[in-house]
Every structure is written in C-alpha cells, then in structure tokens.
Amino acid sequence: MNSQLPALQIVLPLLGAVLCAVLRKGNLAWGVALVTSLAMPVISGLMLQDVLASGPISYAMGGWAPPFGIEYRVDAASGFLLLLISLIGAVIMPYARLSIAAEIAEQDVPWFYTMYLLCLAGLLGIAITGDAFNAFVFLEISSLSTYAMIAMGKDRRALLASYQYLIMGTIGATFFVAGVGLLYSMTGSLNFVDVADRLAEVGTSRPILAALGLITVGMSLKLALFPLHVWLPNAYAFAPSVATAFLAATATKVAVYLMLRFMFSIFGVSTTLANLPIGEIFVTLALAAMFGASIVAIFQENVKRMLAYSSVAQIGYITLGIGIANQAGLTGGIVHLFNHAIMKAALFMVLGAVVYRIGSVKIDALAGIGRRMPITMGAFVIAGLSIIGTPGTAGFISKWYLAVGAFEKGWWWLVFLLVTSSLLSVIYIGRVIEVTWFRPLSKEGEKASETPLSMLIPTLILVAATIYFGIDTSLTAGIASKAADALLAGLR
C-alpha cells in the first residue's frame, strides 16, 4: 500500500473532481472535496516521513521505468511542498462550505468544488512529478481550473481578472513548454534526473541558454515576480474568498518550486548562478517587489487587493532567498514559502469571514468591526504581526534566515533593506488594525457578529500555526534546510 502513495496523492483528487461533477449537489460535492482534502496530508505526511528516514522515493507511473516512463519523485523539497499544499487544502475545506454558499450561485457550487479538486491535483502533481512535460500538463490542469475558479467571483470584474490571468498564464506556460522543448531537442530526455545528467555532457550552448531564459520568464510569470505580477492583484481581489486563500497559499509557491528545480537541480548551480548574473537579477527584482508592491499596498482601499499586493512583496522575499543562493538564504526562501503560505491563507480567510458577515472588504466598511468580531480580527492581528516579521511568529524565522544568508554572502546592505521593507508592512497592516479596532463602527459593520465556528476554527488553526512555527522551527526550518542542501547539491 505504502508503495502506491505517490500515485494516490494525484489520483484521489482527480477522481474526486469527477465525482463532484457527476453528483451536481452542492453539499455532496463539498463532502467529497472535504474527504479528499483531509486524506491528502495523511498521504503526503507518510511520504515525507519515508523520505526523511530513507531518502528520496522514486515511483514509476504505470510500471514504465524512467527515463522513458513518467517518474514521480519525492525528495525533501517536493515532500515539504506536498505537505504544505495538502495541509492548506485540508484546513480550507471545512471553512469553504459557508463561504462558498454565500459567495457563489447555488447551481455553480458543485463546479467550484470540481475546479478546486482539479487545481489541487494539478498543484500536487507539479510538486511530485519528475518529468518535465508532465509538469507542464499539471501546470495547465491547475491553471485552467484556477481561471474558472477566479471567474466565479461575484464581482463582475472577476471576469476581466480571470481573462487577463488566462492570457498571461498561457503565455507563461507556453514559454515554459518551449523551454522544455529546447531542452528535449538538446538532450533527448524529459526526465529531470536524466536531463540533468545529459546536460553535463552537452555543456552550455545557445539553445540551452534560451531554454533557461524561457523557463525563467515563464515561471516568473506564474509566481508573479515583479514586474510580471500585474495579473495577480485583480485575480486575488475578485476571486471567491476560498479560492483566494487557497491560491495565495499554494499556486505561486508551486511555481517557485518549479523554478528552484530547474535552476538548481537541472541546469545546476554551476551553469545558472556561477556563470550567469541570475542571482543579481533576482535580487534586484525581489527588492523592487518588496518595496514597490508594499508601497502600493499602503494606498489600497480594498483590503483584499492590499493583501494581494502584500503577496507580491512577500514573493519578493522568497525570490530574494533564491537570489542569495547560499545555504542559509535558500533555507530562508523555502521557509518563507511555507510560512507565508500559512499566514497569508489565514489573513485571506479572515477577510472571507468579513465578507461573509458584512459583504465588503473596503477599508471604510471594516471600521470598528474588531469589537463585533474580536476573535476573527484578533486572528488578523496575529497573522499580520507575522507578515511584519515580529519575533515569536513564523514570519520572523524566515526573515532571520534570509538576513543570515545575506550576511554570509557579505551583502550586509541587503540586510538593511530587508528590515527597512518590513517597516512598510508595519504601515499597511497597522492601518487595518487601527481602523478595525479603534474607529467608530461603520454602517456596514452594524450587522457584523462573530464568525461561525466552522469558519473560525480553521482560521484559528492557521493562526496558531504561525505562532507555533515561530517558536518550534524543527519542522519548517529543519526540512527547509535539508531541502536547500538537496537543491544545492543537485540531482547527481
């Protein structure tokens, strides 16, 4: 049984999606999605345990041995990501029922869960697969279902946002597949390990560099690296709350993972970072994101859109870790990938609860609701502190590693920029805290009351996790450090 876990990780949500589409009843579809989502962390947890105990798992799909068949490959990096995605899915699903029922027309609800499960399968697939073309297929599965989920938002601007994301996402995916095609033409293989081996023999030539460029830009688009982030704020702002929380926590993270895989494991540190100025480009773009997007966030009136811009900034921290590219920096990037997923999901879930109660996320509408929804808005405060990077929260841990990484590289000016950019997040998070707790109650806020338990408890679980992972870092930083080792060592 254990040996079939990698396949189950993908097959279960795919089957669940089909089941949801066939059932056509909102609550039944939710039940299917819930059961599937709850099963996911069990599977990924078991696999990660295996990996940590006895090294990477390789699974030949359909019994076709790699490199000819499709290989599923779980190592510390991908296992960590699988666990993250499945945990977020498992926490969000209990929350989803009320929120989705309130935000989506009844006849569309089963379709939403279908799309959600397809997206889950796609994201998990990207993390687990060891095959470049298969990664592209999963990328498309997750992207197409994401466009549909975003378009279900009740604001009419959701359609435009979804359309723009579709165009941009498709361009990104096309670049990616074009890059994979070039790699295939040069090496004759699609299997990650195999490609890496053969690349060493082929050496660097122009087509390889073109492949690297195409894949870097394609992935930069999917992970919303500044200045290719422009699809993200609207997509997150107008999608249904559940979709926003789920995507913000997982979709961009998966793209980061794929980027890491290609840059470190396949092209290899010697090609990418030692000979080309990728590290410098990444650090520059990351800094632009950290400052530019944070300042934009300060001026936003729509809190959901504000958090979307904050996501762009936080993705900047993650790419900064990739750009620093030493053990501590990379650990910081990977830990932040995990920590940011948890805290941003919590924040978007709080906003989902606010939408559920008062129907708006305009900052003026949020005035004074802290006294009506003290626990919910208290959760916002804690998760917000973690975004800022206050000690004792998860956000601090990631910034700490990034700072240490920057030092070891001798870039102490970067440390200063890193901490200065945190000040910007003090402003935009502080503004929301001040408005929600200390302003007189708004007109919309009068109908507010504490969030229903089924939405509140999942949110609180994530908030508790931000504190827990701020204190006990053996799981997050420990595994991230292993993952960084694995990435830096390459696949050989």
Binding site for other proteins (CB under 8 A): 160, 163-164, 167-168, 171-172, 175, 204, 206, 209-210, 212-214, 216-217, 220-221, 227-228, 230-231, 233-234, 275-277, 281, 292-293, 295-296, 298-301, 309, 385, 388, 390-392, 397, 400, 403-404, 407-408, 412, 415-416, 419-420, 422-423, 426-427, 430-431, 434, 437-438, 471, 473, 477
By C-beta, is 188 or 391 nearer to other proteins? 391
| φ, ψ (nearest 5 deg) of residue 276 | -115, 155
CA 93, CA 384: separation in Å to the nearest integer? 22
By C-beta, is 47 or 463 nearer to other proteins? 463
Per the CB < 8 A criterion, the answer to whether 82 and 128 are in contact is: yes
Nearest-approach distance from CB 343 to other proteins, in angstroms: 16
CA 100, CA 108: separation in Å to the nearest integer? 10
3-state secondary structure of 130: coil
- Shortest CA distance to 488 belongs to which of 276, 329, 338, 318? 329
Nearest-approach distance from CB 159 to other proteins, in angstroms: 13
By C-beta, is 102 or 160 nearer to other proteins? 160
CA 46, CA 378: separation in Å to the nearest integer? 34
| The token pair that represents 56 in the structure block | 């990477």
By C-beta, is 200 or 210 nearer to other proteins? 210
Nearest-approach distance from CB 107 to other proteins, in angstroms: 29
Question: String of b and e for 436-471 (b: at least 16 CB within 10 Å)?
Answer: bbebeebebbeebeebeeebbebbbbbbebbbbbbe
By C-beta, is 471 or 489 nearer to other proteins? 471
Phi-psi region for residue 155, left (φ > 0), alpha (ψ -120 to 50) or beta? beta
By C-beta, is 102 or 426 nearer to other proteins? 426
DSSP conformation class of 302:
B
DSSP conformation class of 106:
G
Per the CB < 8 A criterion, the answer to whether 247 and 165 are in contact is: no
DSSP conformation class of 163:
H
Nearest-approach distance from CB 19 to other proteins, in angstroms: 35
Nearest-approach distance from CB 346 to other proteins, in angstroms: 18
Nearest-approach distance from CB 222 to other proteins, in angstroms: 11
For residue 67, whether the previous peptide bond is cis, meaning omega lies within 30 degrees of 0, is yes
CA 101, CA 48: separation in Å to the nearest integer? 35
Nearest-approach distance from CB 300 to other proteins, in angstroms: 7
Nearest-approach distance from CB 176 to other proteins, in angstroms: 12
For residue 41, whether the previous peptide bond is cis, meaning omega lies within 30 degrees of 0, is no
> What sign has the CA pseudo-torsion 482, 88, 468, 48?
negative
Nearest-approach distance from CB 404 to other proteins, in angstroms: 7
- Any idea how long the chain is? 492
